[in-house]
Amino acid sequence: MSKLVAIVGRPNVGKSTLFNRLTGTRAAIVSEHAGTTRDRQYGKCEWCNREFSIVDTGGWVVNSDDIFEEEIRKQVLVATEEADCILFVVDNDNGITDLDQQVATILRQTKVPVILCANKCDDNKDIYQSAEFYGLGLGTPYCISAATGSGTGDLLDLVLEKL
């Protein structure tokens, strides 16, 4: 069976943009409005002659803050059960939020390899800001820009090492 990589993180960090970038499709809906991705979206990625599946999590509809957080928790827990590698996406423009901390707390307890992706590093100078994410206790934050594709090749090399 093909290996599965799950993309997790709070809304609006760029999970769907990254999914589309890695699968070379526009299957996942990208929106500036938080909570737009309704379903778990599966796709394929090929890199260095190896193929694996990717899932874009985030199937929640915003009703209240409580439900919102509970849904994110659920998605992250499902990812830790089904995935062979987890891409935890955070927003380099915003820094660490409470929701990031909550997701990190779950991910620090899983045996599944987690790669911390500091997204929206569109510019080289953005890497200085990304050091803040060491504070999540999940190791090195990898700077990427899902929008431009910058850093995503190195990210895929790293994913292959973990699978």
Question: Which residues contact Mg ion by CB under 5 A?
Answer: 15-16, 37, 58
Residue 99's binding partner, choosing from Mg ion, ligand GDP, none, with beta-carbon cut-off 5 to 8 A by kind? Answer: none
CA–CA distance, 119 with 137 (Å, rounded to integer): 17
CA 49 to chain centre: 23
Residue placing its CB nearer to ligand GDP in the complex, 49 or 99: 99
Residue 122's binding partner, choosing from ligand GDP, Mg ion, none, with beta-carbon cut-off 5 to 8 A by kind? Answer: ligand GDP
CA–CA distance, 52 with 128 (Å, rounded to integer): 32
Contacts with 80 (C-beta within 8 Å, 6 or more apart), sequence order: 86, 106, 107, 110, 112
Residues 126-155 that bind ligand GDP (CB under 6 A): 145-147
CA–CA distance, 156 with 8 (Å, rounded to integer): 16
Contact call for residue 37 and ligand GDP (CB under 6 A) = yes
Tokens of 113: 């390899």
Residue nearest to ligand GDP (CB): 14
The residue from 22, 99, 120, 138 that contacts ligand GDP (CB under 6 A) is: 120
Contact call for residue 58 and ligand GDP (CB under 6 A) = yes
CA 18 to chain centre: 8
**Is position 149 annotated in a ligand binding site?**
no
Residues 79-118 that bind ligand GDP (CB under 6 A): none
Tokens of 62: 């915003």
Q: Rule CB under 6 A: which residues touch ligand GDP?
A: 9, 11-17, 30-32, 36-37, 58, 119-120, 122, 145-147
